[in-house]
Chains A and B, each alone.
Chain A
Amino acid sequence: MSEPTSPLAGAKYEGFAGVVAMGLQGMISLRGDLGAEALGKAVKAVTGVDVPAPRRIAMKGETGAAWMSPDELLLLVPYADVATALERLHEMLAGTHFLAVDVSDARAMFSVDGQGVREIVAKLMPVDMRRQAFGEGDFRRTRMAQIPAALWMPQPDRVQIICFRSVAEYAFNLLKGAAAPGGEVGHLS
């Protein structure tokens, strides 16, 4: 039986912050009426969280939901649980207009850890990374240099970044460059 592999499995870099290519993460793209009661219940059932407000992410343990657009959420569940979660969504949302698809294998995910993570993001993405503007629970869909990316901070001094799988190597190299020793800006703490 064939086994799955994650993008850049195990790739790591230590600069003034640490960059790690994370393993496989279950992700479901869910489109629908985010204000509908049925959708709210289904999201809660699958992730344990309420539908997040615009530009926010709600996490509960290993599951959560991120706001992607006025009619789209990204649901996070363990990779092995995607099929079950999709089944559950289809059951609970049957009869309503929605779209739920597995996008776990279409993405790469990185974590950046350390004091300077806010500056690393600010070098590559046009996001206001000041503490008062971006904190735990915030979520952005934006660009990272020349590719689309999304990010949030699951805890202080840690950023998680999602991009498309085909550009995982480019993304890793970007983060490496931005985290290179001596590149501390000293502007965002």
Chain B
Amino acid sequence: MSTRLATGGRLIDRATTMEFTLNGKRLQGRAGDTLASALLANDQLMVGRSFKYHRPRGIVASGAEEPNALFNMGEGARFEPNQRATTTELFDGLTCRSQNHWPSLEFDVGAINSRLARFLPAGFYYKMFIHPRPFWKHVYEPFIRQSAGLGQAPKDRDADSYEHFHAFTDVLVIGGGVAGLQAARAAGAAGATVLLIEQTAHWGGRAPVDGGTVDGQPVDKFVDETLAALREMPNVTLRNRLMGAGVYDHGYVLGYERVNDHQPGAPGPRHRLWRIRAGQVITATGAIERPLSFAGNDIPGVMLASAIRDYAVDYGVSVGDRTVVVTNNDDAYRTAITLKTLGLEVPVILDARATGGGALADEARSLGIRVEAGKGIAKVRGGRRVTGVAICSQAGEGAVLEEIACDAVAMSGGWSPVVHLWSHCGGKLLWDEAHAMFRPDVDKAPTGANGEAFVIAAGAANGALHLRDTLADAQAAGHAAAARLGHEVKESAPPLGEAAPEVRLQPIWMMPQGAKTVLRMKSWLDFQNDVKVSDVQLAAREGFESVEHAKRYTTLGMATDQGKLSNINGLAILSDALNQPIPQTGTTTFRPPYTPISMAAIAGEARGETFQPIRKTVLHEWHEANGAYFEPVGAWRRPYTFRKGDETIEEAVAREITRTRESLGLLDASTLGKIIVKGPDAGRFLDMLYTNMMSTLKPGRCRYGLMCSENGFLIDDGVVARLDDETFLCHTTTGGAESIHGHMEDWLQCEWWDWQVYTANVTEQYAQIAVVGPKARALLQKLTGDDISAEALSFMGWKDITLDGVPVRAYRISFSGELSYEIAIPASYGRAIWDKLLSEGAAFNATPYGTEALHVMRAEKGLIMIGDETDGTVIPQDLNMEWAISKKKEDYLGKRAQARSHMADPERWKLVGLETLDGAVLPDGAYAVAQGRNANGQRKVQGRVTSSYHSPTLGRGIAMGLVHKGPERMGEVLEFPRVDGTVMKAKIVDQVFYDKDGEKQNV
């Protein structure tokens, strides 16, 4: 059984007990434990079920590579699935539940799949569930969804906060093992600013567990001394619990800091996403041990040799009393030696190499451990945990030579450098035949904007596995990074790492070498996704020869661990099946993040009230307090209508329109774009931007204009006021303010850079209030002494006046057909003037109105709205607006496009009014049908509704639409089928429904 040893555990504090629960069961751990070590200390070897066959799964590893020990962590607002036990620091009160089992971890119905394994090979789902087609959606998928899946989705709103942090550094060192520490020290000593980040809570990596000496001292002493030295250096910063998640272009690196995962509820953010810009990146990310592929290698109790060693040394936990070690290299002997020294049994070390091991093997033998060279495991015995192993000859087909009882198996297939971060941004790999591993190709590093390398791999991550090489390589990396950034490097001898010499490993991709099908079908490559040796071989036979295809066909490496354990073994099997060398097969693509990071960390501050910026006018508060029903217009929120009492929205809109037309309405028009255009060439510039002539406009006057893209399509409209000879103020639509300003600058900066024109977007400088209705002038006259009579301020004129002591500008323009002034007020005075207009306007029944009343009133007048009558395919001619297109101008943006054959086609749909025969309201966007069907068998159409409202003024529905040759067909009745199958009929009429002669606005 797995248990806590009486002594040892360099990372735990035995005096501090921590309570936690698994599936409701109360358990105890120690401060400093990971969840994994605490579970093992409680003999909780089995942690879940596999994805496909629901086989029992135990902890395999001790770090980020763990494929099995994933838990539903926490509860309620702090619930999160798929949390890796090996990287979860234990805290008091931790609650977790195991995943992917039903009804319970111990008894699982889905485990029947395991018995059916021979019928569930690679590609089974693709082959099986494709016919009959409709079954996928209605039968197969719901069933598979039910039985598949790892953790559960959280249901509650996340209780924690998250944030980003932008950091800049000369050198970023990723990984706080001995290599990272030494590289940081070397770069720092050369004068570079260094940020050293480490994903765990501890420094020194696994070197203290593996032993050896540095400059004659134990490794942990070296770690402590180096840390102390680094902390003394003002140009070096150390951060732990901060993982290098991804390396991107231009020295951009994402770091994932788990600030409070180990102390939920503590003040501050839970995760912090570091967005780091580094001059040079050193990846000192270490190496990951590979499993061996033998039958039953997935049974709980079979673990990586290094992990068993870690649990013993770091946490004082023994995984088993009798541990069989199986290896193809010298390093795994360290596990046997460690266990034996702790007083645990190691019945045998099975070394697959016929020639056996080196110095470490001798040491093991001298401790009395039996060592068998050229032997391997034919099969692991056991179900929910290991009970023994059947030994065979590695060279054979699996004939059992001997059975040995044990309760744990420590396996080692060699080490793979963690090349993920090196590879993210294009670093290439080469195959190291001697160590049977891919390592960074230093000549093909990721390159930055200047074409120079910006990533350096250091230590084990660079393939320098032996302590002596690790430290020397790290020192060189630190120096190289500093030198590349222009720092002067004083060469010095690296610290001398000494450890037992190791003899060459032998690549073992299958155990035994000639394993028969029945064994290969139980030899796991990918523990989480249930991919076995036989599956990869099947994929190769079926023609999935590219490693990327084989990956997707078998799902090898597609689980949440992204194949950290399985990839190299899998592609070796694939290479073997294809009879080609491993480098020719290559690796799948390493993509960020290194391990999954929380979505919330990516969102950062963008949640709750800061989810997105909402633009608010200076009158917004008043709107909120007065029943506004808001609608989004761009990033603004504008009142759609103001409801009073029990009014429906429709009733409120009708009231606002009626009162405005009868007496007086007030509109917050502040969101309209306002762009100042000034300079000697301003008139010429606006003549190019607008379809009509603007340069002839007189100061003091306004003119409505249309703006088209160079493709001829309408993009904006609005009223232009000429402020003086050189200065114009262009009103744009609300949504167009920023884009039209950008459009102007684009043409000025890129095409007409020699024209003397400056622009400024002053949209937010002014609160703009429309005072609308027959009593508009009367109200303003109460607040100003300036002459605003019909003669002094005529229709389409503007004037600077003083309103209640505030200098404002009054534009006499109308979008409603009524007598109307738009008052531009410095925004800081906007609210005060609004209040004044309301109180003084009470005598005229002044009624604030919203965007819907605005829309209905403009539609009653037959005025177009960008975005309703236009959709990016409409030209002014479609809207019968030839009057707004200057014939005199040599050119304007869109002129040539509008002369093209399709644009000038008399068959285009054109704007008309539509009047339903029964007075009902046409659905917005409805199509008018024509006779016959098109090539796709669809009913032909001859027009569509662009705007449709109930007009309270006329007491019936009114609409505008684009209709084939519409203006030539006045009086014709069109049919508009509705989704419910009924048909509405509407007559083509003039689009101006109200006061066609403009008598109301011109008083």
Contacts and interface: CB of A to CB of B under 8 A. Distances in A.
Contacts of A7: 618
B266 A182 contact: yes
B612 A4 contact: no
Contacts of A98: 758
B606 A187 contact: no
B239 A187 contact: yes
B375 interface: no
B167 A122 contact: yes
B828 A97 contact: no
Given A99-B676, A128-B168, A177-B161, A106 B762 contact: yes
Q: DSSP majority for the A interface?
A: loop
A56 interface: no
A169 B615 CA distance: 9
Q: DSSP majority for the B interface?
A: mixed
Contact of B760 (A29, A166, A169, A185): A29
A48 B692 CA distance: 44
B832 interface: yes
Nearest to A125: B166
A133 B168 contact: yes
Interface string A49-68: 00000000000000000000
B678 to A, nearest CB: 5
Interface residues of A, number: 53
A183 B609 CA distance: 18
Contacts of B610: 145, 170, 173-174, 177
B765 A102 contact: yes
A97 B764 contact: no
A147 interface: yes
A145 B269 contact: no
Contact of B758 (A97, A128, A147, A180): A97
B605 interface: yes
A177 B165 CA distance: 13
B832 A5 contact: yes
Contacts of A115: none
A103 interface: yes
B762 A6 contact: no
Interface in B797-833: 804-806, 826-829, 831-833
Contact of B606 (A123, A145, A182, A185): A145
Contacts of A6: 828
Interface string B756-775: 10111011111000000000
Interface string B594-627: 0000000000111001101111111000000000
Contact of A166 (B266, B617, B829, B831): B617
Given A105-B828, A127-B166, A166-B764, A146 B616 contact: no
Contacts of A146: 606, 612-613
Nearest to A27: B765
B487 interface: no
A129 B679 CA distance: 38
A106 B670 CA distance: 11
Contacts, number: 146
Interface in A55-96: 71
Given A2-B806, A2-B829, A181-B267, A123 B764 contact: no
B636 A166 contact: yes
B765 A2 contact: no
Interface residues of B, number: 54
Contacts of B636: 166
Interface in B621-667: 636
Contacts of B805: 1-2
Given A2-B833, A4-B832, A99-B676, A167 B615 contact: yes
B268 interface: yes
Interface in A160-186: 164-167, 169-170, 173-174, 177-178, 180-185
A7 B268 CA distance: 28
Interface in B101-115: none
Between B164, B237, B610, B766, the greatest number of chain A beta carbons within 10 A of the residue's beta carbon is seen for B610
B268 A147 contact: no
B167 A105 contact: no
A2 B804 contact: yes
A37 interface: no
Contacts of A97: 679-680, 756, 758
A101 interface: yes
Nearest to A29: B760
Interface in A139-159: 145-147
Contacts of B831: 5
Nearest to A177: B605
Given A106-B764, A170-B614, A177-B161, A122 B836 contact: no
A182 B762 contact: no
B267 A182 contact: yes
Contacts of B827: 105-106, 165
7 contacts: A5-B832, A99-B678, A146-B613, A164-B615, A167-B614, A178-B605, A183-B268
The 8 closest A-B pairs by CB, nearest first: A182-B267, A182-B268, A1-B805, A2-B832, A4-B828, A99-B758, A105-B827, A166-B615
Given A106-B763, A146-B613, A165-B618, 8 more contacts: A2-B804, A105-B826, A106-B762, A123-B166, A126-B166, A166-B616, A177-B161, A177-B610
